[in-house]
Chains A and B, each alone.
Chain A
Amino acid sequence: MKRLLYFLPVLVFAVVAGYFVWGLNPERNPREVPSARVGTAVTPFELPPIDGSSVPGLSSADLADGEVTLVNFFASWCLPCRAEHPLLMRLAAGGKLRLIGINYKDEAADASQWLAELGNPYDRIGADRDGRIGIDWGVSGVPETFIVDGQGTIRHQQIGPIMPRDLEDEILPLVEELGR
């Protein structure tokens, strides 16, 4: 019994060291919040197109038509959105999945100019002027990106801009799996 007590410091050390290994792991993002929306159906909504734009608006029904969709919340005032935009353009050109945009709390003129300048990767764009649909999706800022399966269920939520690695490691494998 007393012998076992001698191992107590070793045990305490192991626990503390394990905690540090977890906490100091550079791969871990301490601000990351587990998504509450993954696995749930898209809340029914309807969004008008951007004023004066020829790209149609969208409703939740458009997301449950059997096709896998990437839904991207973006805004012209959002710098990281600009950073991830070329990646979305490449993804749209690749034709592996449908891209839909939700223009978050933006002015119509600004959004239109942004798309004219950088290109439009989206099949449809809904204008979420007051950010209310964003709240329904559990969006806390732009950019955020969701993968929705053919039945209209959210399967993935990406907070912040999509990096090439997110695309390779998470998004594309998931799209492939859902498309099968």
Chain B
Amino acid sequence: MTARLAGLCLLAVMALWAALPAGAVMPDEILDDPALEARARALSQNIRCLVCQNESIDSSNADLARDLRLLVRERLLAGDSDRQVQDYLVARYGDFVLLTPPMRPATYLLWFGPFALLLAGAGALLLLVRRQRRSGSAEAGPAPLSTAERARLDRLLDAAEEGGKPPASPSSPGPSKGA
């Protein structure tokens, strides 16, 4: 019984797995050369379908996406490099056609902005912690006792050891005045 269930689960997983990479590529579009077809698939996954805008041409069923898939394969068959195919499309539709924006001065902010922010934040934090630690080491340890204070402390301790009440001092705050 459990073996059968496990078998069914396996079958379901396999079926889903097979469905995953299929995209919208129709059988008649697939190239005979598996290496070229693999390149076409990889390229298509980074090319935006201009009709649906948030899908790649590899997964879109739009008419234009099919045209572009065929075009990509045609260019590859003609001997274009991956780069040449991308440039061909960018020349017609602009950078927008690429799902991964290209690296160039206009996109530096996009690519490096988050890291720059992270660095700036880390730097600010470091600065803050350092400053706090430095000022902390100067202020947290109170100034050493003066000789007069030390003498008074000794007197108080002596009085406490003898079991008597410490002598009342005019400077010590009364318990009733605490609030």
Contact = CB atoms under 8 A, between A and B. Distances in A.
A37 interface: yes
B78 to A, nearest CB: 14
A136 B92 contact: yes
Contacts of A33: 50, 93-94, 96
Given A130-B67, A131-B67, A31 B53 contact: yes
Given A31-B53, A33-B50, A141-B51, A131 B64 contact: yes
A73 to B, nearest CB: 12
Contacts of B68: 135
Given A34-B94, A135-B71, 4 more contacts: A34-B96, A35-B94, A36-B94, A136-B92
Interface string A133-145: 0011110110000
Interface in A24-75: 31, 33-37, 40
B93 A138 contact: yes
Contact of A105 (B51, B63, B71, B92): B63
Contacts of B92: 36-37, 135-138
Interface in B90-129: 90-96
A40 to B, nearest CB: 8
B93 A36 contact: yes
A130 B74 CA distance: 14
A34 to B, nearest CB: 6
Interface in A106-150: 130-132, 135-138, 140-141
A135 B88 CA distance: 10
Interface magnitude class on chain B:
10 to 19
| 6 closest A-B pairs by CB | A36-B94, A140-B50, A138-B92, A33-B96, A138-B93, A131-B67
24 contacts: A31-B53, A33-B50, A33-B93, A33-B94, A34-B94, A36-B91, A36-B92, A36-B95, A36-B96, A37-B92, A105-B63, A131-B63, A131-B64, A131-B67, A132-B67, A132-B71, A135-B68, A138-B92, A138-B93, A138-B94, A140-B51, A140-B93, A141-B50, A141-B51
A31 B64 CA distance: 17
Contacts of A141: 50-51, 64
A132 B95 CA distance: 20
Interface string B153-167: 000000000000000
Contacts of B94: 33-36, 138
Interface in A83-109: 105
Nearest to B91: A36
A131 B68 CA distance: 10
Interface string B42-73: 00000000110100000000011001100100
Contact of A140 (B64, B90, B91, B95): B64
Contacts of B67: 130-132, 135
A36 B90 contact: yes
Nearest to A137: B92
A33 B50 CA distance: 9
Contacts of A35: 94
